[in-house]
Amino acid sequence: MTSAPRRAGRRTEYAQLTRQSILDAAQRLFAEHGYFGTKVEDIAAAARVSPATVYAVGGGKNGLLRTLIQSATSAAETSGILARIESATDPHELLRLVVGATRDEFERWSGLMRQVVAAAPQEPGVRQSMEIAHASLRAGLQLTADRLGELDALRDGLTPSGATEILWIYLCNAAWFVRSDDLGWPLDESAGWLNAVLPDALLRR
């Protein structure tokens, strides 16, 4: 009586492991070889499945990239950070929280996002995935700015909308790339600099 549910459970577990293996392979290969330099066959070989399985599970390269981006934006860790932003009571601690969160996300996803930015002008599907990532980050920065407004912490004349723009200038992926790639700053140095300059740019003295 219990054999059928057990078999169903094993099939579900195997399907989840297969899907994760395909996503992990896609993320690594996209980062190493670029979006256009990676073939579905390469992902299949790295995940030890057939190309047909890659298409069935991920919908090809476009679908895999979109799934990777959406999984990053909807992760439980991301939800926890948003909850901490909403409940923050110290403006300086809030800014340090957001700096730390964007630093950690950049460290985890910069390899993939570098290739996404490179491929986006030529591939509409990649551009849509990039827009999903940007929209998620911007929503988090807007939430941060709104919370600073609720705490009456913004400097005189600065609206939450204006604060969101300032946060974007400093914390978007492009800004992290400038500091890490063009200036050669280690991520911790970049985060320390942000923690020093953002209060002056945003907060009431």
Q: What is the DSSP letter of 154?
A: B
pLDDT digits (tens, 9 = 90+) for 112-147: 999 999 999 999 999 999 999 999 999 999 999 999
Sign of the Cα pseudo-torsion (161, 166, 168, 169, in order): positive
- pLDDT tier at 2, thresholds 50, 70, 90: low
Q: Which residues contact 150 (CB under 8 A, 6 or more apart)?
A: none
Q: pLDDT tens, 22-57? A: 999 999 999 999 999 999 999 999 999 999 999 998
Query: 3-61: what fold?
Result: Arc Repressor Mutant, subunit A (1.10.10)
Using the structure block, give the residue that is written with the tokens 């999903």: 132
In the predicted model, what is the mean pLDDT of the chain?
Answer: 92
pLDDT confidence of residue 8 = 61
CA angle 18, 21, 27 (to 5 degrees): 140
Residue 9 confidence (pLDDT): 73
